Amino acid sequence: MGLKTVLKTVKTQIRRFIALDDTPERIAFGFAVGVFISFSPLLGLHTVLGMLIAVLFGLNRVAVFTGVWVNNPWTVLPIYSVATYLGTKLSGFPAVSLPDLHWEALCNREFWIQLAGQWPLLKPLALGSSILGVLAAVLSYVAALYWLRQRRASAQKQIPR
């Protein structure tokens, strides 16, 4: 997927987000829930979890999915690295030597074999991901709510009376 395609997709999603027929509070909350899910270590299940939670709790699906897709292939490695580091520091987990983390390594079979041997890191990863997810969700709620209110207020000023 090229950069132009990605930018066009993001622009389309933002337009859909602004045009949602819901209150700014509900949209921002759905977005924040999606952001929290995006930090989950259950890689590959984010969209399914977002759909399930949106349906179960009656959240705005577009807002939830927009939040879920915040963590994408370009951000997953830094986010999970920071989450694991944070989780190991908070849980007192002993330092481990991680595989060499660079983009070319992701295409290397030995990298994945070495990473699979690091299962004890799952607990610190879950702890760090949860903390980062809560922080990101709170910040995204505040930012989305502010942004939506501003956009809707400016749209109201432009409507002739």
One digit per residue, pLDDT tens: the chain, 161 residues? 566 776 677 667 666 666 677 889 999 999 999 999 999 988 778 889 999 999 999 999 989 988 998 877 777 888 888 898 899 888 887 655 555 556 566 667 776 677 667 677 788 888 999 999 999 999 999 999 998 898 877 777 776 65
Q: Which residues of 76-109 are buried (b: 16+ CB within 10 A; e: fewer)?
A: eeebbeebbebbbeeeebeeeeebeeeeeeeeee
**CA-based nearest residue to 140, from 2, 5, 34:** 34
Q: What is the pLDDT of residue 128?
A: 93
Q: What's the token pair of residue 65?
A: 């999915």
Q: What is the pLDDT of residue 144?
A: 93
Question: Which amino acid appears at position 102 of this protein?
Answer: H
Cα torsion 127, 129, 132, 136: sign: negative
Question: What's the pTM?
Answer: 0.75
Q: What is the pLDDT of residue 111?
A: 67
Cα torsion 140, 89, 116, 49: sign: negative
Please give the DSSP secondary-structure letter assigned to residue 26. H
Helix residue ranges per DSSP H, 39-116: 46-57, 61-68, 76-91, 109-116
Q: What is the pLDDT of residue 80?
A: 85
Write the CB contacts of 110 (distance below 8 Å, at least 6 apart in sequence): none
Q: What is the pLDDT of residue 145?
A: 94
Q: Cα–Cα distance between 91 and 42 in angstroms, integer?
A: 20
Q: What is the pLDDT of residue 36?
A: 96
Q: Is 57 exposed, middle or buried (0-12, 13-18, 19+ CB in 10 A)?
A: exposed
